[in-house]
Structure 1
Amino acid sequence: MFSLLFGKRPGQSVCSSLRALQNQLSTSAAVYRAKLPHEKMRYAPPVTELKLGIYTPESRRTGIIARKKGMTGMWDEWGVRVPVTVLQLDSVKVVHIIKTSNPNHPRLQIGCGVRKEKNTTKSLLGHFKAQGIEPKAKLFEFPITPDAVLPVGTEITAAHFVPGQLVDVTAISTGKGFQGVMKRWGFAGGRASHGNSLAHRTPGSTGNINPGRVYPGKKMPGRMGGKSVTVLRLPVMKVDTALNCIWVKGSVPGPDEQYIKVRDSIKLVKHRLFPEGATVPFPTYISGQSADLPRETIARVGGHDPLIPRAD
């Protein structure tokens, strides 16, 4: 039986048969590894000249992927301290131009970070190799207008944003586990005393005797967090071109080091997307063709100095 399984010849010892089998398996493994596409590849995207365009209210620029670095505070031009969240752009590049059924609504696939080839699937390795882009850690798609298309391989920096503009951020919120209705939905809960017994944090009644059932969508205890959340109209307070970071006012969903999608705000009722008189880099900031920017650019809040009393 052993000779049938391992190919032992008559008169050959078991040890020599096992060594021959081991050598054969090693040779087969070496040949298989040589055929794998995990060899070090050279990534060189096609060079396409990118020219500056003119931004119009109908134009829609691409968004970016950033990593949340934490929260801090800064002072605006009037000396008022505001809480801000630091978002860093880590090797953000255009990976692919996606054509949709409607030619007026293309999409850009944006990649962020760097991933080792050995940790990348074969299908993604083939995708990155076809585009000439090194493997990215995270990929997202953003809808744009035809005049905002960027060539594959274009790097997007923090100068893509204008200090004072409004952005929408989307991320996965921090998971909080199974929570009750008071924490999850903000219910008031029951009374603390005066006849209340073991029902201080219960949701109370969940419906009437008619129809005699609980309607779908009723707010109940359950798992809280861990879902995609979008925060609208956050002002960009500062842009740092050296650290490739942007400071946005307020908090951003999710823990530190999480990937965040940042785009120009789209719901602008009674708001301006860009500050008045600002030069918008369109379709993005191009080093060499645009004016050199300082390392830090702080947004001007405008309005009246809060430390000086008004005349009226």
Structure 2
Amino acid sequence: MAKMILGKKVGMTQVFSPEGKLIPVTAIEAGPCVIAQVKSEATDGYNAIQIGFGAVKNKNVTNAMKGHFAKADAAPVRFLREMRVDSPDTYQMGQNIDVSAFETGEKVDVVGISKGKGFAGTIKRWNFSRGPMAHGSKNHRRPASAGAKGPARTFKGKKSPGHMGGERVTIQNLEIIKVDLEKNLLLIKGAVPGPKKGLVMVKNAVKGV
């Protein structure tokens, strides 16, 4: 069964395993989330559920979104994301999803927006090597030639300076170290994309990956 929950990245810490091994973990304040809409092939052309997360002031919600959440008999939330499901009949509008849906030791995929680095050169962005640092050299951190001489153009996909970060990133097969029901926390082994307080999406890992 497909499982997904939205949450906020709290930060990183470390815990000890029962064997005394130090494990780096990322704390994610996950849920509670609400199912704002259930989509089916008959009405929408595909099967999915729409999950909402995050408190928002009522004055910051449009009338259209207020009506959308009223159909689910739920309070408006800040973020909405969809998840494909096989059988939408097993879900109900207004249903809550919390961290109890996940178990310790379970493998999950975490999706987030990576930290934005702004405009970066080829050394920082693509791990290029710098040029000679002697006094006569004028190619210390330059990206070198831009295109081939024959076609006289730059090939598509060439690694060049440009915007770095701020992209959707998925980290697969991370292990859940602890599930804290009281604090709505998931402690996940390793690092996950995004800054502190950034929105992340946790879903059960795709088998065979």
TM-score using structure 2 length: 0.92
- For 1:236, the equivalent position in structure 2 comes to 176
Q: State the aligned residue count.
A: 209
- For 1:310, the equivalent position in structure 2 comes to none
CA RMSD, 1 decimal: 2.0
Q: Is 1:146–2:87 an aligned residue pair? A: yes
Q: Is 1:200–2:140 an aligned residue pair? A: yes
- For 2:98, the equivalent position in structure 1 comes to 157
Which of 31, 34, 47 is equivalent to 1:106?
47
| Counterpart secondary structure, 1:183 | helix
2-structure distance, mates of 1:116, 1:149: 31
Q: Is 1:226–2:166 an aligned residue pair? A: yes
* Distance apart, 1:157 and its partner CA: 1.4
Alpha-carbon contact 1:115-1:136 (below 8 Å) kept: yes
For 1:269-280, list aligned pairs within 5 A.
Answer: 269=209
The one-letter code matched in structure 1 to 2:32 is: S
The one-letter code matched in structure 2 to 1:219 is: K
- For 2:206, the equivalent position in structure 1 comes to 266
2-structure distance, mates of 1:173, 1:211: 36
Tell me: higher relative CO, structure 1 or 2? Use CA pairs within 8 A at least 6 residues apart.
2
Which of 98, 110, 117 is equivalent to 1:169?
110
2-structure distance, mates of 1:218, 1:224: 15
Which of the pair is proportionally richer in strand? Answer: 2
For the structure 1 residues 208 and 233, does the alpha-carbon distance in structure 2 shift closer, same or farther, using more than 3 Å as the test? same
- For 1:191, the equivalent position in structure 2 comes to 132
The one-letter code matched in structure 1 to 2:121 is: G
| Counterpart secondary structure, 1:78 | coil
For the structure 1 residues 240 and 229, does the alpha-carbon distance in structure 2 shift closer, same or farther, using more than 3 Å as the test? same
Which of 36, 60, 74 is equivalent to 1:95?
36
* Distance apart, 1:105 and its partner CA: 5.1
The one-letter code matched in structure 1 to 2:100 is: A
List gaps (5 residues or longer) in structure 1. 1-59, 270-312
* Distance apart, 1:108 and its partner CA: 0.6
| Counterpart secondary structure, 2:96 | coil
* Distance apart, 1:153 and its partner CA: 1.7
TM-score using structure 1 length: 0.63
* Distance apart, 1:113 and its partner CA: 1.8
For the structure 1 residues 175 and 121, does the alpha-carbon distance in structure 2 shift closer, same or farther, using more than 3 Å as the test? same
* Distance apart, 1:268 and its partner CA: 2.9
Q: Percent identity?
A: 35
The one-letter code matched in structure 1 to 2:185 is: C
Q: Which has more radius of gyration? A: 1
- For 1:132, the equivalent position in structure 2 comes to 73
The one-letter code matched in structure 1 to 2:146 is: T
Alpha-carbon contact 1:73-1:84 (below 8 Å) kept: yes
List gaps (5 residues or longer) in structure 2. none
Alpha-carbon contact 2:6-2:201 (below 8 Å) kept: yes
Q: Which one is further off, 90-99 or 137-146?
A: 90-99
Alpha-carbon contact 1:163-1:239 (below 8 Å) kept: yes
For the structure 1 residues 264 and 120, does the alpha-carbon distance in structure 2 shift closer, same or farther, using more than 3 Å as the test? same
Q: Is 1:68–2:5 an aligned residue pair? A: no
Q: Which one is further off, 166-175 or 183-192?
A: 183-192
2-structure distance, mates of 1:196, 1:102: 69
* Distance apart, 1:258 and its partner CA: 1.2
1-structure distance, mates of 2:168, 2:24: 23
Which of 156, 160, 166 is equivalent to 1:216?
156
2-structure distance, mates of 1:183, 1:120: 40
2-structure distance, mates of 1:250, 1:133: 34
For the structure 1 residues 174 and 99, does the alpha-carbon distance in structure 2 shift closer, same or farther, using more than 3 Å as the test? same
